[in-house]
Amino acid sequence: MSQSEIISYEPATGVELWRGNVGDVDQAVDQACRAWPAWAAQPLATRMELLRRFANEVRKDAELLATTIARETGKPVWEARTEVENVVARVEVAIRACAERAGQRKLDSALQGAAAVRHKPHGVLAVLGPFNFPAHLPAGHIIPGLIAGNAIIFKPSEKAPATAEALVRCFHRAGIPDGVVQLVIGGPDEGQALALHDGVNGVLFTGSAHTGIAINRRLAAKPEKLVTLELGGNNPIVVWDTPKIDDAAMLIVQSAFTTAGQRCTSARRLIVKSALYDPLVEAVKDLADRIIVGAPFDDPAPFMGPVIDNAAADGLTESFLYLLSHGGKAIKHLVRADESLPFLTPAIIDTTGMKERPDVELFGPILQVIRVDEFDQAITEANATRFGLSAALIGGNPNDYNRFWANVRAGVVNWNRPTIGSSLSAPFGGIGISGNHRATGYYAADYCAYPVTSAEMEQPRAQIGVGLRDR
């Protein structure tokens, strides 16, 4: 593959799905800078209506878009359809969020005139998207960004350009001008060029902590540029006193192995009370043994597909072997039946006896199990990470959950629910190296426009009551 071209391959088959030329960043930024003032000058109601038309275009193309997502990411088509439904649902959620969090307000200032709070768009925003949810997650930035009046340059993951192209086509068919939403195909070099470009007013990034930290470091001397980072997690799921072992096992399997473990909120560490260890781990293993791993359109439908590519599968295999060779004990081995394709079976490994557990995000279907005796020890283990995205407590009583909620460092804290699957109507984000305190989801309205405070009177009126000599 030449540097001037990007090729997307289907993970499940290795077949070429899409190819296209690398985009021109300077040209895209120039076009966006010229297009956004007219877009920002449109009435808010007009922008909202055009986004509703976008939702209708996505509905029309729903099956085609889901098929493209499934082929390009390898995820089961049932999951790809859910992703498309979430793109549609995001429009009304973003409209409500704009009204609630970025609406106009009048403040009472008595004799000092009127005071008002309004919001302005930043200008040109670069959206750098991930491969695991190539439509849903970028849409979470693009939709509120457009409602707020920004122009968007969307640089998708080089592993998911076909989905991005289909998504942008829906924006244009809805009547949103070509210069207001642009697609720039490329790899890390194009992403960096966009992030550093003087004509870009904000960078909205979703992806790995490594890349996010690099972006943050490069832009540290540019406080005038908005930076929003939604990064990964080394997420804990704690199981405490519960008689419902089978239900707990299902929640754990959903958390750890949905999307082949390729969610930023996927459970990476299962922290379990010693008294529950044997029955719980047996139930989780039995359920994981039943998981169907297959291609997106297989019948019966698979629970999970391959990881994104062979390089990812190689890295996960090496990571599992590292855990084994440094004190981990395999409960369920990571198996790759075909070395030419990135299909992996779910893996479970007890890492209780490891002297040092690597604090890394293993972005795939590997679950580490840690046995503890005391609840405070469980919380300590849950917090033994630089990340802080998602955490869940399974079992326990309301007092246990209150302690867990108060003491666990994470932006998503659940009780008797999986670590994955946050509501569209809630904020989403983490602390530590999982983000930079700019929650996405419902709170995306907060960073897509900046507040402007105004003190206003129709005629000038003033007096100085102290410190002047008499005439």
The amino acid that residue 385 corresponds to is: T
The percent helix, strand, coil of the chain (3-state, each to 5) is: 40, 20, 40
pTM for this entry: 0.96
Is there a contact between 233 and 261 (Cβ–Cβ < 8 Å)? Answer: no
Active-site residue, selected from the candidate residues 10, 57, 190, 230: 230
Whether 184 has a pLDDT exceeding 60, the answer reads yes
User: What is the pLDDT, as a whole number, of residue 1?
Assistant: 38
In angstroms and rounded to an integer, the radius of gyration of the C-alpha atoms of the chain is 24
Is 411's pLDDT higher than 80?
Answer: yes
124 phi, psi to nearest 5 deg: -105, 120
Q: What is residue 109's predicted lDDT score, i.e. its pLDDT? A: 67
Amino acid (1-letter code) at residue 26: D
- Both structure tokens of 419: 């670590």
**90-118 pLDDT, tens digit each:** 999 999 999 999 999 888 766 677 889 99
Active site residue 264: yes
Helices assigned H by DSSP within 2-76: 25-41, 44-60, 62-73
- Domains of the chain in sequence order: 5-231+435-456 (3.40.605.10), 235-415 (3.40.309.10)
Exposure of 22 by Cβ count < 10 A (0-12 exposed, 13-18 middle, 19+ buried)? middle
The answer to whether 239 and 395 are in contact (CB under 8 A) is yes
Percentage of the residues of the chain whose pLDDT score is greater than 90:
94
Task: Quote the pLDDT of residue 111.
Answer: 66
Q: How far does CA 185 lie from the centroid of its chain?
A: 20
Tokens 């300077």, residue located:
26
**Could you tell me what percent of the chain has a pLDDT over 70?**
99
Residues listed for the chain = 471
The pLDDT tens digits for 356-409 are 999 999 999 999 999 999 999 999 999 999 999 999 999 999 999 999 999 999
Q: Among residues 288, 337, 274, which one has the least CA distance to residue 12?
A: 337
Average pLDDT over residues 268-290: 98
Helix (H, G, I), strand (E, B) or coil at 1: coil
* The residue type at 110: A
Q: Which of 98, 170, 264, 448 is catalytic?
A: 264
pLDDT tens-digit map of 295-316: 999 999 999 999 999 999 999 9
